[in-house]
Amino acid sequence: MTPMDHETERLFSYGTLQSETVQLSTFGRRLAGSPDALAGYRLRMIKIEDQDFVATSGAEYHRNLEFTGRASDFIEGTVFFVTQQELEQADAYEPEGYKRVRVQLRSGTEAWVYQSISNTQPEEASQSMTS
Protein backbone atom coordinates (compact mmCIF):
# COMPACT_ATOMS: atom_id res chain seq x y z
CA MET A 1 0.00 0.00 0.00
CA THR A 2 1.17 3.51 -0.74
CA PRO A 3 0.58 6.61 1.41
CA MET A 4 -2.21 7.54 -1.04
CA ASP A 5 -4.16 4.47 0.11
CA HIS A 6 -4.45 5.86 3.65
CA GLU A 7 -5.05 9.55 2.96
CA THR A 8 -8.20 10.45 4.81
CA GLU A 9 -7.62 14.07 5.83
CA ARG A 10 -7.69 17.31 3.87
CA LEU A 11 -5.26 20.08 4.79
CA PHE A 12 -5.57 23.56 3.27
CA SER A 13 -2.34 25.51 2.92
CA TYR A 14 -1.96 29.16 2.03
CA GLY A 15 1.70 29.36 3.03
CA THR A 16 4.86 27.38 3.65
CA LEU A 17 3.30 23.90 3.51
CA GLN A 18 2.92 24.48 -0.25
CA SER A 19 6.73 24.49 -0.55
CA GLU A 20 8.23 21.25 -1.85
CA THR A 21 11.23 21.73 0.46
CA VAL A 22 8.99 22.06 3.52
CA GLN A 23 6.89 19.06 2.42
CA LEU A 24 9.95 16.86 1.99
CA SER A 25 11.43 17.85 5.35
CA THR A 26 8.09 17.57 7.19
CA PHE A 27 6.46 14.56 5.52
CA GLY A 28 9.27 12.87 3.59
CA ARG A 29 7.33 13.19 0.35
CA ARG A 30 5.74 15.70 -1.98
CA LEU A 31 2.03 16.06 -1.20
CA ALA A 32 -0.74 15.64 -3.76
CA GLY A 33 -3.23 18.47 -3.80
CA SER A 34 -5.47 20.77 -5.80
CA PRO A 35 -6.19 24.51 -5.85
CA ASP A 36 -9.01 25.83 -3.69
CA ALA A 37 -9.88 28.95 -1.70
CA LEU A 38 -11.10 29.92 1.76
CA ALA A 39 -13.85 32.57 1.79
CA GLY A 40 -14.39 35.01 4.64
CA TYR A 41 -10.71 35.54 5.40
CA ARG A 42 -7.85 37.76 4.29
CA LEU A 43 -4.11 37.50 4.84
CA ARG A 44 -1.95 39.59 7.10
CA MET A 45 1.75 39.32 7.89
CA ILE A 46 2.87 38.36 11.37
CA LYS A 47 6.31 37.98 12.91
CA ILE A 48 7.16 34.44 14.00
CA GLU A 49 8.93 34.24 17.37
CA ASP A 50 9.67 30.48 17.16
CA GLN A 51 13.28 30.51 15.91
CA ASP A 52 13.25 26.78 15.03
CA PHE A 53 10.30 27.42 12.73
CA VAL A 54 12.03 30.45 11.23
CA ALA A 55 15.10 28.30 10.51
CA THR A 56 13.01 25.55 8.90
CA SER A 57 10.79 27.85 6.86
CA GLY A 58 13.50 30.34 5.96
CA ALA A 59 11.44 33.43 6.85
CA GLU A 60 10.73 35.45 9.97
CA TYR A 61 7.47 36.95 8.69
CA HIS A 62 4.63 34.72 7.53
CA ARG A 63 1.16 35.12 6.12
CA ASN A 64 -1.64 34.42 8.56
CA LEU A 65 -5.41 34.16 8.30
CA GLU A 66 -7.56 37.00 9.54
CA PHE A 67 -11.29 36.29 9.75
CA THR A 68 -13.48 38.99 8.18
CA GLY A 69 -16.75 37.14 7.60
CA ARG A 70 -17.07 38.79 4.20
CA ALA A 71 -17.65 36.38 1.31
CA SER A 72 -15.81 38.83 -0.95
CA ASP A 73 -12.60 38.20 1.03
CA PHE A 74 -10.88 34.96 0.14
CA ILE A 75 -7.50 33.27 0.30
CA GLU A 76 -6.25 31.06 -2.51
CA GLY A 77 -4.19 28.02 -1.63
CA THR A 78 -3.93 24.28 -2.02
CA VAL A 79 -5.89 21.51 -0.36
CA PHE A 80 -3.62 18.53 0.26
CA PHE A 81 -4.55 14.91 0.90
CA VAL A 82 -2.73 13.61 3.98
CA THR A 83 -2.79 10.76 6.45
CA GLN A 84 -3.66 11.22 10.12
CA GLN A 85 0.04 10.73 10.91
CA GLU A 86 1.02 13.45 8.42
CA LEU A 87 -1.57 15.77 9.97
CA GLU A 88 0.17 15.23 13.31
CA GLN A 89 3.53 15.93 11.63
CA ALA A 90 2.06 19.19 10.30
CA ASP A 91 0.93 20.03 13.86
CA ALA A 92 4.53 19.58 15.01
CA TYR A 93 5.85 21.71 12.13
CA GLU A 94 3.61 24.74 12.78
CA PRO A 95 5.03 27.39 15.14
CA GLU A 96 3.90 27.99 18.70
CA GLY A 97 0.76 30.11 18.77
CA TYR A 98 -0.91 28.38 15.82
CA LYS A 99 -3.75 25.91 15.97
CA ARG A 100 -5.49 23.67 13.47
CA VAL A 101 -9.18 24.41 12.79
CA ARG A 102 -11.77 22.84 10.48
CA VAL A 103 -13.10 25.05 7.66
CA GLN A 104 -15.25 24.70 4.57
CA LEU A 105 -13.50 25.74 1.38
CA ARG A 106 -15.07 27.47 -1.60
CA SER A 107 -15.39 24.08 -3.37
CA GLY A 108 -17.46 22.74 -0.47
CA THR A 109 -14.60 20.53 0.74
CA GLU A 110 -14.02 20.45 4.48
CA ALA A 111 -10.37 20.76 5.43
CA TRP A 112 -8.05 21.60 8.26
CA VAL A 113 -6.15 24.91 8.21
CA TYR A 114 -3.65 26.51 10.57
CA GLN A 115 -4.11 29.98 11.96
CA SER A 116 -2.77 32.09 14.77
CA ILE A 117 -4.66 31.56 18.01
CA SER A 118 -5.18 35.33 18.26
CA ASN A 119 -7.10 35.28 14.94
CA THR A 120 -9.44 32.37 15.59
CA GLN A 121 -12.83 32.80 13.98
CA PRO A 122 -15.72 33.22 16.44
CA GLU A 123 -17.90 30.08 16.48
CA GLU A 124 -21.13 31.98 15.85
CA ALA A 125 -19.56 33.73 12.84
CA SER A 126 -18.59 30.45 11.18
CA GLN A 127 -22.18 29.25 11.36
CA SER A 128 -23.69 32.44 9.92
CA MET A 129 -21.20 33.24 7.15
CA THR A 130 -22.38 32.77 3.60
CA SER A 131 -20.11 32.37 0.60
Assess if residue 16 is contained within a domain: yes
131 within some domain: no
Domain of 115, CATH number, reads 3.10.490.10
Per residue in 89-98, pLDDT (tens digit) is 999 988 777 7
What pLDDT does 48 receive? 65
What is the extent of the structural domain holding 43? Answer: 3-123
Inside any domain, residue 130: no
pLDDT in tens, 6-43: 668 999 999 889 999 989 999 999 999 999 999 999 88
pTM over 0.85: no
128 belongs to a structural domain:
no
Lowest mean pLDDT among 36-45, 53-62, 107-116: 53-62
C-alpha to C-alpha distance for 19 and 30, rounded to whole angstroms: 9
